Structure 1
Amino acid sequence: MVFVFVLLALGVLVAANWYLWRRLFRDTTAGPGWVRRTGVAVVAGGWALAVGALVAERTGAPFWLQQTLAWPGFLWLALSVYLLVALVAGEAVRPLLRRFLERRARSKAQAVPAAVPQPAPVPAGAPADEPGAREQAAPVPAEEPGEPGEPERTPSVAMPSRRLFVSRVVGGAAAVAALGTVGAGTYGVLNGPGVKRVTVPLAKLPRAAHGYRIAVVSDIHLGPVLGRGFARRVVDTINATQPDLIAVVGDLVDGSVKDLGPAAAPLAGLKARHGTFFVTGNHEYFSGAEQWVQEVRRLGMRPLENARTELPWFDLAGVNDVAGESEGQGPDFAKALGDRDPARACVLLAHQPVQIHDAVEHGVDLQLSGHTHGGQLWPGNFLAAAANPTVAGLDHYGDTQLYVTRGAGAWGPPTRVGAPSDITVIELASRQA
């Protein structure tokens, strides 16, 4: 079954890339030549870099190699997605543009008056059958093939060049649209996350805690693309909100402590009245979760590994990500929540939104999650919605509320389209206030 799925996925990938090459390079050229050969090199080379970047990251290749492959490889992934989207949309434009050009050509042809043979005047008294009269009345030769007055030959002469023109217009527009989309989406990520503010009322929250601020950050994804400078930007953005508590809900890194320790160092500068708390995400288990738990503790964060702490006005709990189950370190809701006082409000940190169902069973008031990136690259939000109960924002599941942040960074392509990155400041509201 797995083999069939891999074979099907490979077939779809090959077909999609052949389509890109055909529309961008073959259909826009009059015949074989260097442009078509360059197109093969660009498409095949782009995917070779993309696969190389993914394999290098997952296998722990030398960090310099990961960095070398990551930028061109991951950006090609994003660019190929939007080239494909733009070219498919262009299929609807092609017949309309051809029809417009045909009508314009027909209108021009009709505007040129057809040459009609006119008899020459015959001198007075000259018989009509004299040689001179016959010569002067000789008809004008008919139009040669290919002239505007011969419509039946027009398609065979004009249509090839017209088809080439349409292909170049649609292909060029698709390339410009894709480059612009990826460029803007990449700039948005590298420029750093914005700040969202959301008020969440909790029935059990005492009046004294009204207005309590939790800065929620997830999916920073420090790695071969996003490094120390990006981490510093995240820290500055969070500290500027002056939160009471900071919650880092997983997927902090994509790589080992050895490679990314210097990039994560600015996180030691996070400041909040009640401290910074951390739970693992699935990517921590790809990167050495135990080492990273120790490292974030060294940086001044407090890991909540299936644990709970009692703050002055509510309980704060955290569970490991479900990816930890393969290492015997999965989420344990009973350990984190089993013996707590149900009269107190409870806020749970859990990386993946799918953990909401266990949170409901254990009477959690608010779960804070990330993981989805909001889809990151449209139309990826539809795929994210199929795998997660909530893709982004605040939602209700019985008496439990779930808030999902779109995350601060990006995985793979350092690009977001239709899902801008964010750090969310959750302001808790007491219904007694």
Structure 2
Amino acid sequence: MFVVLFAVVMGAAHYYLWRRAVRDTTTPGRARRIGTAVVVGLFVLLIAGLALNAGFLAWPGYLWLACAFYLALLFGLLEVPRALLNRAARRRSARATGAAEVAGTPEPVATGPVATEPVTAEPVATEAPAGPRTPEERTRRLFIARSLAAVGGVATAGVVGYGTTQALGDPLVKRVPVTLAKLDPRLSGYRIAVVSDIHLGPLLGRAHTERIVRMINEQQVDLVAIVGDLVDGTVAELGEAAAPLRDLVSTHGSFFVTGNHEYYSGVEPWLGELDRLGVHPLRNERLSVERAGAAFDLAGVNDVTGRNFDDGPDFARALDGRDRSNPVVLLAHQPVQAHEAAKHGVDLQLSGHTHGGQMFPFHLAIGLQQPVRSGLATVDGTQVYTSNGVGFWGPPVRVGAPPDITVVELRHNFAGR
């Protein structure tokens, strides 16, 4: 159903692209036929890449998806200057036509008295006929269309090229201090590596995992938290790609909570595989983390998508009955889960899911569903940190939302003692 809906939307988008990039920039003939075939071929490639999820189709298909999106967006923004330029061309053509008609009209010659008859005035057209009226106007409109198509194409290539380097390059390492009122001073400085949305799949494989593991290990953290959307495929397909996770090194181990994509990829086999690799799933569970005689609670809840698989989040099971004098750090894939977490007295929630928007202007839509797009914020009294993630979904492009690995450093509020 998703593929069908996506095909309808992208079909409409490709028709718009064809009008602006092919029909408006060519005259009937061979060039237009070739351009039409190219647009149709790109549309088929895109749908095939999504439906078959094979790397050799997914790479060009998803890259074209990003190009089609930004090209349609830019063509839309160029509609106003296009209309103004075409209007100016029409007026110039009309003036030129009027001047030619005046120049070609003979002067009246007086020949003596002439009998006249009443003349009935014919209605005069007040609107110009649709479309170019003269060869000159057609030439100007063709030039305008080609110029704007070139501007849109160059800008799209620049944006997508930049976004691809961001998505495929090394993630940023962010260091975020978070003060917890109830944190024991002996735990101040405790460091948690937060990584989300790795999205192993047809475009990201073992090398991607190896780079993430290397970068996390370089930080020498106390604990690793993987907050969902590790994979886009089954264990049989991607088990080898995930295998480097066994090499993660930290003082108190690595932990995982489900994201929505795990439920599309076979959640039970993946949870078993991660446990085998030494990455411990927290399924509506809680444990105590101790250092130097002080402790905080680490809890994890399932993603909200699990409700459709009889495996939803259970905050009461994970959080009730704990010692409330100790702070609790909750792993939950989606920031929106903070509303429920706040009711259970969670001090800090670590999340992902949003990709930081991944491709501007999708940043603007995140707030319709999630309370935090990226970074540290407070939701109903609970602090929430949302990572941009280290992978991507769909196009291998990130614009305005670079990938990141975050080292969250827990701090005691010494000033509040």
What SS class does the counterpart of residue 385 from structure 2 fall into?
strand
Q: 1:365 to 1:379 in 2, by over 3 A?
A: same
Q: CA separation of 1:7/1:323 partners in 2, compared to 1, >3 Å: closer, same or farther?
A: closer
Which of 204, 207, 214 pairs up with 2:185?
207
Q: Is the 8 A contact 2:339 2:380 kept in 1?
A: no
Measure the CA separation in 2 of the matches of 1:258 and 1:95: 54
For each residue in 1:235-276, what CA deviation from the matched residue of structure 2 results, as whole angstroms up to 9, or x when unmatched? 122222221111000000100111111111122221111111
Paired residue for 1:263?
241
- 1:365 aligns to 2:326 (yes or no): no
Larger displacement relative to structure 2 (399-408 or 246-255): 399-408
Alignment partner of 2:356: what SS?
helix
Aligned-pair CA distance for 1:9: 7.3
Q: The residue matched to 1:45 in structure 2 has which SS?
A: helix
Q: Distance in 2 between matches of 1:188 and 1:334?
A: 40
State which of 227, 238, 246 in structure 2 corresponds to 1:249: 227
Q: Give SS of 1:214's match.
A: strand
Query: For the residues of structure 2 that align with 1:413 and 1:430, how far apart are their CA atoms?
Result: 41
TM-score, length basis structure 1? 0.81
* Structure 1 residues 209-248: aligned runs within 5 Å: 209-248=187-226
Percent identity, aligned pairs only, is 53
Per-residue CA deviations over 1:402-430 (Å, capped at 9, x if unaligned) read 11111100011111112111111111111
Q: What is the DSSP-based 3-state SS (H/G/I as helix, E as strand, rest coil) of the residue aligned with 2:302?
A: coil
Q: Distance in 2 between matches of 1:240 and 1:191?
A: 17
Matched, 1:388 2:370: yes
Of the two, which has the highest radius of gyration? 1
Q: Aligned in 2, Cα 1:6/1:276: closer, same or farther, shift over 3 Å?
A: closer
Alignment-mate amino acid for residue 23 of structure 1: R
* Alignment deviations for residues 1-60 of structure 1 (CA, whole Å, 9 cap, x no partner): xxxx99997665433221100111111112232x32233333222232222232234xxx
**Residue identity opposite 2:218 in structure 1:** A
Q: Is the 8 A contact 2:3 2:51 kept in 1?
A: no
Aligned residues: 378
Amino acid of the structure 1 residue aligned with 2:312:
G
Q: Does 1:45 align with 2:27?
A: no
**What corresponds to 1:310 in structure 2?**
288
Equivalence for 2:24: 27
Change (3 A) 1:405 1:359: same
Please tell me whether the aligned partners of residues 251 and 280 of structure 1 are also in contact (alpha carbons under 8 angstroms). yes
Unaligned runs of 5+ in 2: 95-131
Query: Structure 1: which amino acid aligns with 2:77?
Result: A
Take 1:211 and 1:358, find their aligned partners in 2: how far apart are those partners? 27
Deviations 1:367-390 (A, max 9, x none): 111011111111112222211121
Which residue of the partner structure matches residue 124 of structure 2?
A: none
Q: RMSD across aligned C-alpha pairs, in angstroms?
A: 2.7
Confirm or deny that 1:16 pairs with 2:13: yes
C-alpha displacement of 1:297: 1.3
Q: CA deviation at 1:75?
A: 1.3
Q: How does 1:7-406 map to 2 (within 5 A)?
A: 12-33=9-30, 35-57=31-53, 66-95=54-83, 97=85, 156-312=134-290, 313-406=295-388
- Whole-Å separation in 1 of the counterparts to 2:381 and 2:325: 14
Distance between the aligned counterparts of 1:43 and 1:226, measured in 2? 27
1:426 match: 408
Q: Is the 8 A contact 1:46 1:72 kept in 2?
A: no
**Counterparts of 1:103 and 1:20 in 2: how far apart (Å)?**
27
Pairwise CA distance, 1:156? 2.6
State the Cα deviation string for residues 98-124 of structure 1 (Å, max 9, x = none): 578899999xxxxxxxxxxxxxxxxxx
- Aligned with 2:367: secondary structure? helix
Residues 157 and 45 of structure 1: CA distance in aligned 2, closer, same or farther (over 3 Å):
closer
CA contact 2:289–2:297 (8 Å) conserved in 1:
yes
Aligned partner of residue 165 in structure 2, secondary structure: helix
**Counterparts of 2:42 and 2:84, CA distance in 1:** 32
Deviation (angstroms), 1:97: 4.9
Is the CA contact (8 Å cut-off) linking 1:192 and 1:230 kept in structure 2?
no
Distance (Å, rounded) in 2 between the aligned partners of 1:283 and 1:76: 23
- Classify the secondary structure of the residue corresponding to 2:78: helix
- Tell me the secondary structure at the aligned position of residue 414 of structure 2: coil
Q: Which residues of structure 1 form unaligned runs of 5+?
A: 58-65, 107-153
Distance 1:104 1:214, change over 3 A: farther
- The 8 Å contact of residues 317 and 336 in structure 1, kept in 2 or not, is answered as yes
Give the Cα–Cα distance (whole angstroms) in 2 for the partners of residues 365 and 408 of structure 1. Answer: 25
Conserved 8 A contact 2:7-2:47? no
Partner Cα distance (1:252, 1:7) in 2: 26
CA distance in 1, matches of 2:7, 2:256: 38
- What is the CA-CA distance between 1:349 and the residue it aligns to? 0.1
Amino acid at match of 1:207: P
Q: CA deviation at 1:350?
A: 0.4
